[in-house]
């Protein structure tokens, strides 16, 4: 089944209107094999969305966000999530609409994990005291989203993860000493 899902992801990422027959060809199996496992195209899409959501959750959990030092966990979560968002871009974008119950549940769990990780990072001094952690999480997600789009074109996942974390932690402004020179 994984072969079919991986092939479907590739085909659908290139052409969201692709048929089950095209997915079967890409997987190197007969169309009947795909139809035996998935009665409809919608059933295939649902399984693909659930599969990607589980890969996403595993990517976050593998980084040990509740146990590893916060900065280490943040860097590892970022790299792992970028890999999943790149490898499963069609399904991850489909899951983002919260219409898939399993994906919505997984995303909720990941949001809670991210909130705990950011709180730990704040307590460890990685993030400023008093910063709005919900806003920080949304900015972090937006940075990952943009990096995943860049990574789809063959970027270096680890370098992009470093860029995301660096931008999150340091922003894009000049060092504090230079800000005073500009009248800010």
pLDDT tens-digit map of 17-39: 999 999 999 999 999 999 999 99
Q: Could you tell me which CATH number the domain at 1-39 has?
A: 1.10.10
Asked, colleague to colleague, whether 1-39 and 48-171 share their fold, the answer is no
pLDDT tens-digit map of 109-139: 999 999 999 999 999 999 999 999 999 999 9
C-alpha neighbours within 13 Å on the C-beta side of residue 161? 19
Q: Which sequence spans correspond to the domains of the chain?
A: 1-39, 48-171
Other CB atoms within 10 Å distance of the CB of residue 111: 13
pTM for the complete prediction? 0.85
Please give the CATH architecture assigned to the domain spanning 48-171.
Orthogonal Bundle (1.10)
């Amino acid at each position: 089944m994984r072969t079919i899902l991986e092939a479907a992801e590739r085909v659908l990422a290139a052409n969201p209107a692709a048929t089950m027959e095209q997915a079967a060809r890409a997987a190197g199996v007969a169309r009947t094999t795909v139809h035996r496992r998935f009665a409809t195209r919608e059933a295939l899409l649902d399984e693909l969305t659930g599969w990607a959501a589980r890969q996403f959750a595993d990517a976050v959990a593998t980084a040990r966000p509740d146990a590893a030092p916060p900065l280490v966990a943040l860097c590892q979560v970022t790299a792992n999530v970028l890999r999943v968002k790149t490898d499963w871009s069609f399904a991850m974008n489909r899951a983002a609409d919260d219409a898939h119950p399993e994906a919505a549940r997984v995303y909720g769990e990941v949001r809670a994990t991210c909130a705990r990780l950011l709180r730990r990072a704040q307590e460890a001094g990685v993030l400023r005291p008093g910063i709005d952690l919900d806003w920080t999480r949304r900015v972090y997600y937006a940075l990952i989203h943009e990096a995943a789009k860049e990574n789809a074109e063959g970027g270096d996942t680890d370098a992009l993860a470093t860029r995301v974390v660096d931008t999150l932690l340091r922003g894009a402004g000049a060092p504090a000493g230079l800000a005073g020179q500009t009248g800010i």
